[in-house]
Copies of this chain bind each other. A is one copy, B any other.
């Protein structure tokens, strides 16, 4: 009877244990204890321990890809869509509180899982969503191409999912501020010009860590050396930098306008 929700309870408790202790370190008996069932009974619902892992990941990734696909297709600017991807990532992670951590911790060693092909395909699809939106933004001039596209989107994507771990306990409440922080940190370093209208808001000033100085040294010494030696030639260098940038831009545009430009 209770078998209706039993499967889901097993999945939920397993996910929690897997993320807390690791998959290999979590035993079937521990899962049984957490659910309130004998370990043998679990095999009435799942054919193996790995099958539980696979189902956890497939459920999470299916939800994620489905919502990514909707966002990517939106007729919005790349910045808007990228912000939505961040938000969707956090929301889906909130619906699957432990799956993202399991995936992050152990994906590298999960290639022998039952439905691994399905899982890998979903992972790749989710990665494509990020890449395509960032690529669109660069092509349209909305983002800066001074930083390698692939490198950038991978950093941002992984940072978003690490943030899930860091904010797991309060993720639902933190979605807004986290989305804002992530897009501000990454995009204000990635857009060509600063937004005149939307300058970064006054500090949300979240938590402050009890910053203890390292036992050896009080790191006071940042000091006056700021721009002393660089000051003399600084203007000349900046001038040359600007001219180089201008020339580079002209050349790039010339190349881009060529009919057979690649």
Tell me the A residues contacting B by CB distance below 8 Å.
Answer: 20-22, 24-25, 69, 72-78, 81, 105-106, 108-109, 120, 123-125, 127-129, 131-133, 135-136, 138-152, 154-155, 158-159, 162-163, 166, 181-182, 184-190, 192-195, 197-209, 211-219, 221-230, 232-234, 237-238, 240-242, 244-249, 251-256, 260-262
Other-chain residue from B142, B205, B225, B227 in contact with A139 (beta carbon distance below 8 A): B205
The answer to whether B244 and A255 touch across the interface, beta carbons within 8 angstroms, is: no
**Distance between Cα atoms of A116 and B143 in the complex (Å):** 44
Residue in A147, A182, A218, A242 whose Cβ sees the most chain B Cβ within 10 Å: A147
Are the CB atoms of B249 and A202 closer together than 8 Å?
yes
Tell me the complex Cα distance, A69–B148, Å.
31
The distance from the CB of A186 to the nearest CB of chain B, in whole angstroms, is 6
CB pair B132 A225 closer than 8 Å: no
Q: Are B198 and A192 in contact (CB under 8 A)?
A: no
Bound-state Cα–Cα, A198 to B243, Å: 10
Evaluate contact between B213 and A132: CB separation under 8 angstroms.
Answer: yes
Residue among A184, A189, A232 with max Cβ neighbours from chain B (10 Å)? A189
A22 shortest CB reach to chain B, Å: 5
Given A73-B217, A201-B245; A209-B21 close (CB under 8 Å): no
Using Cβ atoms and an 8 Å threshold, which residues of chain B touch A237?
Answer: 230, 234, 237-238, 241
Q: How far is the CA of A49 from the CA of B28 in the complex (A)?
A: 23
A73 surroundings in chain B (CB, below 8 A): 217, 219, 221
**CA of A211 to CA of B175 in the docked complex: distance in angstroms?**
29
Which residues in B have their C-beta under 8 angstroms from that of A190? 185, 188-189
Q: Which of chain B's residues has its CB closest to A217's CB?
A: B73
A75 partner, pick from B75, B155, B225, B252, beta carbons under 8 A: B225
In the bound complex, do residue B189 and residue A146 qualify as a contact, i.e. CB atoms below 8 Å apart?
no
Picked from B215, B218, B227, the residue with its CB within 8 Å of the CB of A124 is B215
A252→B251 contact, CB < 8 A: yes
Contact of A148 among B124, B207, B262 (CB under 8 A): B207
- Bound: A143/B221 CA distance, A: 17
